[in-house]
A and B are shown apart, each in its own frame.
Chain A
Amino acid sequence: MLASFDTYLPANTAISLPSFAEVIETHKAMVYSIGWHFLRDRSAAEELAQEVFLQLHRNWPAMKSGAHIIFWLRKAASHRAIDAARKLKRRQEMQLEETGEPTVLERVHDTFLSSYLERIIASLPEKQRMVVILRYQEEMEVEEIARVLNMKPATVKTQLARALELLRAKAERRLGHLNERTKAAHAGEDA
């Protein structure tokens, strides 16, 4: 059924790209998760992911490779997420009751700390939040993040360090009983 939709796509025989349907299937979790972790709003994240893929569809002839598609999707999702957050005028300090629950498939490690971290990540300033998401969700290197967000690598490093500092401070303040492993790591870093 999905293959029939690809007949509407412009033929690009010069390079062997995956079909558009395959690209959606492969990368929808990535795009949706960027939106979800940034916006903490399920419907807004889905809308964002849809818009990103529709934009990709319009730009399909310009895609050069699978890696190019991934880079393009991360960049589009990041910038759209920031724009969407501004439009929604979401407060950086999210109320716990405002946050819905996503359909989580991969996440089995759903501890109290993790769910709390998700919420305090959502309270970070826009740029820091996106840097953290790209670094720890997408496991991207600083240089890659810099390219996606049109920032200097040094700026990304600074933003990341500030974000981590903020997150640790908030986590420690609210969760005085952070597990011993984390505490030990902080002690080691402070030293």
Chain B
Amino acid sequence: MTPFEEELRKALARCEPADDFTERVLRQTVNREAPASKRWLASNWFASHWFASNVFWRVVPVAALLVVLFSAAFGYREHVRRVHGEAAKEQLLMAIHIAGVQLHDAQMRVKSIEKSEAVKQ
């Protein structure tokens, strides 16, 4: 190697990038590697801690059970209300029917009385 080439070698000595270069590259590889859901979790501190905690896996079944129980209770109450409504409707129809029959009887009696009075006159 000639002295001039030696100068070139010195001029082209390697130099270092910024101190955080490695960390930045690794962070980008993680961001590109992880699926969107993981990226969201990684970017969301609360979500990542919440889903990772044991509390989440205890709360979720209890919450699901409560939702089922409330739904069942609400459905049963609706069923009872519907049954009571049907019974009331039946009673009302029966009452109307009875009233109609009694009214018919009364009309028949009135007509027969009017007829007999007309024959007397």
Residues of A at the B interface (CB closer than 8 Å) are 1-2, 5, 8-9, 20-21, 24-25, 28-30, 32-33, 36-37, 45-46, 49-50, 53-54, 57, 102-107, 109, 111, 113-115, 117-118, 121, 132-133, 136-137, 139, 164, 167-168, 171, 181-182, 184-186, 189
Contact = CB atoms under 8 A, between A and B. Distances in A.
B60 interface: no
Interface of B: 2-5, 7-18, 21-30, 32-34
Given A29-B17, A32-B17, A114-B7, A132 B12 contact: yes
A24 B33 CA distance: 17
B15 A33 contact: yes
Contacts of B8: 117, 121, 132, 136, 167
- Chain B at the A interface: SS class: helix
Nearest to B5: A136
A117 B26 contact: no
B30 A8 contact: yes
A136 B12 contact: yes
